[in-house]
Structure 1
Amino acid sequence: MTPERLAQLTALRHALHQRPEVSGEEAETAAFIAEQLRGVAGRVLTGIGGHGVAAVFDSGQPGPTVGIRCELDALPILEMAGKPYCSQVPGKGHLCGHDGHMTMVLGVAQDLAQTPVSRGRVVLIFQPAEETGQGARDFRNDPQYAEIQPDFLFSLHNLPGLDLGAVELCSGPANCASRGMRVRLTGKTSHAAAPQDGLSPASAMAELMPALAALGPGGELTEDYALTTVTHAQLGAPTFGVAPGEAEMWVTLRTVSDARMAQLVDQAEALVRKVAADEGLGVVITYDDVFEACVNHPEAVQILAQACAQAGVQPRLTAVPQRFSEDFGQFAKGSKTAMFWLGSGVDHPQLHNPDYDFPDALIPVGAGIFLAAIHQVLDAPVTA
């Protein structure tokens, strides 16, 4: 990538960075992306699964469809990086690097326009609402997706703590499954001077918080790995005059596999219902931010490994998944998928930190690996 092109893409990244939009609200970001793609891609689809965008590069010749996926959404976090191009939207920021991911894929689009593929198709996916786990599900379920579903689909995420520009690639599980469990306990309020006339969920909450944590103690990332984290708890109203009659707890459940998640859900629900019944309380359990496990397909992993080598990066192969979750796993239902990790620097601020900022030096690295993966599939010899 020439210095001039990198400067142009960096300016695009900074423009995206200044106007972050959170999950489900990415209308302006999607319009910006679609505008960049018109006149570059042969076809641009919009409104996929919400604000999703897709660019199609069709050679007109038979062959597989290769997809590259990135994310549109930002986070509801105040940015404190102090950069001249920092967020202009109070309380919101691109503090996960999705602005950089989009920019890499825009770079891929520019290259494909200059050097079209000779067979098959390339589909570039700009997916909304990754941070809530809902975006990939809605994108896949949109009728427009059936027209463009790739045979192979690749993605990346930048990774602080890994050397700048280094690549880590998992064979098998790549990201943990997770979900937010919301537990609502209901009893009966009373005057604080006569708590015996009400039914407080305080004892049940006090019992459940350590008991739920004990169900998932964490540890090594094996098939049996389970982690439960109490992230929020509220008992009654903030007042001294009322003995509480309701309580709410939020608990994040995390496992390596979907099968282990199903077991953990059953265990957690059984525990909650038993404690509530013992205390005579009503209980309602709901779930938010549901992420299925992300598992890399072996054939897609092999293609990415070869693409990295072609792009001049030697990937580190590992069997240990990341603890955090990604909704990219949804796309494995119908496509051979793989995600790789691109190092943001050993001492780089962590994802979702208020001082995080995507390193612009990664733009040509990620774009180069994606392009190499595309050509690895579409330039492969056709066998009878």
Structure 2
Amino acid sequence: MYLTNQDIVELTAWRRKLHTMPEVSGEEVETAREVVRFLKDTAPDAIIEGLGGTGVAAIYDSGITGPTVLIRAELDALPIEEIGEPDHRSKIAGKGHMCGHDGHMATLAAVGRRLGRERPKRGRVILLFQPAEETGAGAAAVIADEKFKALTPDYSLSLHNMPGIRLGHAWLKDGQSNCASRGIRIVLTGRTAHASTPETGISPVNAVSKLMPALTALGTGPQSGSIETGDLVRVTVTHATIGEPAFGIAPAHGEVWATLRTSTDDQMAALVEAAENLAREAAAESGLTVEIDYHDVFGHCINDPEAAAILRAAMDAEGVTHEAGQAFRGSEDFGRFGAVSKSAMLFLGSGETLTALHSPNYDFPDDLIPIGAKIFLRATQDILG
């Protein structure tokens, strides 16, 4: 047996404890400490802290040469006020585990319990608790960290719980899994004037008014393409502002925020160039200066066929029903591990009628903890023996 009933009880309680203490991207100090505390009982061969900021890596080493398998969960929560009323609801105002990362951490801890009792026959398993997934900054920071060089995996595996899929069933497809995306912030600056003589100033009104539909029009086709056919290009304007809330001032400052989304990184590069050209043209036409910066930058997520096949075989062996399913327009920071290893992510169903991810009353289904753990344990066994 992979896990005892007592294991499940304790892991469920720990998941709920994590749910009460959410920390947002880049602030996961107490969460990381709690992970280290909980994993110490599994006696890993090493625990590396401060990885890519607040990340934690627990290493279970056979002592015999072989591949390195990395399994990733996320530390961070969201800046969302929880409105659900479970006994384990968030104790931190304005923050909540509304994406299920608390459940992902508990799933990895379950894997750690088993590995603490029985190491792989060769190679090593690294359980990575990654910071800042929600902003797209965490994976890049981990990979860039000097401490990661000694951890570089041959295979990287992960899962994400997903409402809309039958509880305990999984979706896993080769190739495209998640889109690339990034937030673009365009700042336009002119010169204020009295509202009675606006012609004496330089206003961003026309530029902002032009940019919002022009950016949106960069999307391809009536539905902005399809991730399945690899031609999705979408721009969603998310925020705009002009001037100050006053009647006597013709404005000098304007901003347009938008999310750029594409099937692939190459398409994103072309979309970025097109969006920047539009911004500069609109600014020049109105005599404005323009500054452009980017936030929440995610690369595309591509499942390696070999890594995906390993997860499928593990699900078959463990009786987990799965299908290819579909790729998702949403972005996922895990894709960056595909640049350093053979990587694959599966989506584990949290229920067809469960509220959507990032909803203010979302709560990870505890039943998924042992299901996810047995998939990962079987996959590592298949790779490492």
- Among candidates 220, 235, 247, match of residue 254 of structure 2: 247
- Among candidates 220, 231, 234, match of residue 238 of structure 2: 231
RMSD over aligned Cα atoms: 1.0
Per-residue deviation, 1:220: 2.1
**Deviation string, structure 1 residues 333-358 (Cα, Å, up to 9, x no partner):** 22110000001111111111101110
**SS in structure 2 opposite 1:339?**
strand
Equivalent residue, structure 2, for 1:323 = 329
**Deviation string, structure 1 residues 240-263 (Cα, Å, up to 9, x no partner):** 111111101111000010011111
- Among candidates 74, 85, 102, match of residue 99 of structure 1: 102
In structure 1, what residue type is equivalent to 2:9?
Answer: A
- Among candidates 22, 26, 29, match of residue 28 of structure 2: 26
| Structure 1 gap segments, 5+ residues each | 380-384
**SS in structure 2 opposite 1:215?**
coil
Equivalent residue, structure 2, for 1:112 = 115
Counterparts of 1:238 and 1:174, CA distance in 2:
43
Question: Is it true that 1:124 corresponds to 2:127 in the alignment?
Answer: yes
Give 1:133-144 correspondences, 5 Å limit.
Answer: 133-144=136-147
- Number of equivalenced pairs: 378
**Deviation string, structure 1 residues 122-154 (Cα, Å, up to 9, x no partner):** 111000000110000000111111111110010
- Among candidates 261, 265, 268, match of residue 268 of structure 2: 261
Equivalent residue, structure 1, for 2:17 = 15
Per-residue deviation, 1:191: 1.1
Counterparts of 1:308 and 1:239, CA distance in 2:
61
Question: Is it true that 1:169 corresponds to 2:176 in the alignment?
Answer: no
- Among candidates 356, 359, 362, match of residue 362 of structure 2: 356
Equivalent residue, structure 2, for 1:336 = 342
Identical-residue share of aligned pairs (%): 51
Equivalent residue, structure 1, for 2:70 = 67
**SS in structure 2 opposite 1:50?**
coil
Counterparts of 2:281 and 2:45, CA distance in 1:
58
Per-residue deviation, 1:107: 0.3
Per-residue deviation, 1:279: 1.4
Per-residue deviation, 1:312: 0.8
**SS in structure 2 opposite 1:176?**
strand
Counterparts of 2:40 and 2:151, CA distance in 1:
17
1:223 touches 1:260 (CA, 8 Å); kept in 2?
no
Equivalent residue, structure 1, for 2:383 = 377
Counterparts of 1:163 and 1:241, CA distance in 2:
57
2:65 touches 2:122 (CA, 8 Å); kept in 1?
yes
**Deviation string, structure 1 residues 168-225 (Cα, Å, up to 9, x no partner):** 0021011100000000011111111111111111111111101100101523222221
Equivalent residue, structure 2, for 1:149 = 152
**Deviation string, structure 1 residues 34-68 (Cα, Å, up to 9, x no partner):** 11122411111101110000000111111111110
- Among candidates 79, 88, 93, match of residue 90 of structure 1: 93
Counterparts of 1:220 and 1:172, CA distance in 2:
14
Question: Is it true that 1:194 corresponds to 2:201 in the alignment?
Answer: no
Counterparts of 2:253 and 2:159, CA distance in 1:
43
Equivalent residue, structure 2, for 1:81 = 84
1:55 touches 1:123 (CA, 8 Å); kept in 2?
yes
In structure 2, what residue type is equivalent to 1:122?
Answer: V
Counterparts of 1:327 and 1:20, CA distance in 2:
19
Equivalent residue, structure 1, for 2:317 = 310
Counterparts of 2:171 and 2:158, CA distance in 1:
13
Equivalent residue, structure 2, for 1:382 = none
Counterparts of 2:225 and 2:67, CA distance in 1:
41
2:216 touches 2:234 (CA, 8 Å); kept in 1?
yes
Moved over 6 A (4+): none
**TM-score (normalizing by structure 2):** 0.96
Counterparts of 1:8 and 1:250, CA distance in 2:
44
Counterparts of 2:290 and 2:282, CA distance in 1:
10
In structure 2, what residue type is equivalent to 1:280?
Answer: G
Equivalent residue, structure 2, for 1:220 = 226
**Deviation string, structure 1 residues 268-316 (Cα, Å, up to 9, x no partner):** 1111111111111111111111101011111101101101111211320
Question: Is it true that 1:290 corresponds to 2:300 in the alignment?
Answer: no
In structure 2, what residue type is equivalent to 1:10?
Answer: T
Counterparts of 1:327 and 1:35, CA distance in 2:
26
Equivalent residue, structure 2, for 1:6 = 8
- Among candidates 193, 210, 214, match of residue 211 of structure 1: 214
1:256 touches 1:321 (CA, 8 Å); kept in 2?
no
Counterparts of 2:39 and 2:147, CA distance in 1:
18
Counterparts of 1:334 and 1:83, CA distance in 2:
40
Counterparts of 2:87 and 2:78, CA distance in 1:
19
**SS in structure 2 opposite 1:25?**
coil
**SS in structure 1 opposite 2:161?**
strand
